[in-house]
Amino acid sequence: MRLAGAALALWPLAALAETDAMLATVDKPATVTVQRPPVAAAPGPQRRARVIVSFTSYSPTADCAPVEVIVKGQAGNGPELEVGRFAVTPNSPFNGPEPQSIGLPLPGQLVTDAPVRFSIQLVPVEGGEPNPAVCATAGPRAGASLRISAVEIR
């Protein structure tokens, strides 16, 4: 009876892992909604708003073919706009204690005080060549994934 209770107690955790909003893959983007912090008026020219995407782990595709990370944003009912693209380099697996971050200029249409919904997805690079040398040392993988730790607007 205790085992059944333990299994039932763990069931929500398994369901959460399958619908993890902060794990970007080729099949499913990570999604997060962010609100820009209030900006104090400062003298002089203002810096262009940026979206900062931080991630803590990366796993390449099964054949180590390159992928790129595509970041899109949508404010309210407006159109989804591509914010930018980047690649995780080197194209080898990592899981670090400190997040890696990339900053991308925020399109003017997404500079708002309203919440902005970002999607981060991995997309195979067209014509990208697999890297068997990396795959041979990286061990088995299920597919490309990127663990997002934070998304913020600065």
Nearest to 73 by CA among 64, 61, 84: 84
Whether pLDDT at 120 is above 50: yes
* This prediction's pTM: 0.79
User: What mean pLDDT do residues 134-154 have?
Assistant: 78
The string of DSSP letters for the chain reads: -HHHHHHHHHHHHHHHHHT-TTEEESSS-EEEEE-PPP----SSPPPPPEEEEEEEEEE--TT---EEEEEEEEETTS--EEEEEE--SSSS-EEEEEEEEEEEEPPGGG-SSS-EEEEEEEEEPTTPPP-HHHHHHH---SS-EEEEEEEEE-
13-32 pLDDT, tens digit each: 333 334 588 999 999 999 99
35-61 pLDDT, tens digit each: 988 766 555 566 789 999 999 999 998
Specify whether the CB–CB gap between 119 and 72 falls below 8 A: yes
Amino acid at 15: A
Which value, in Å, is the radius of gyration of the alpha carbons in the chain? 18
What residue ranges define each of the domains in the chain, with the CATH number in brackets?
Answer: 21-153 (2.60.120)
User: What mean pLDDT do residues 71-95 have?
Assistant: 93
Whether pLDDT at 91 is above 90: no
Whether pLDDT at 132 is above 80: no
Q: What is the pLDDT of residue 116?
A: 97
User: What mean pLDDT do residues 122-130 have?
Assistant: 85
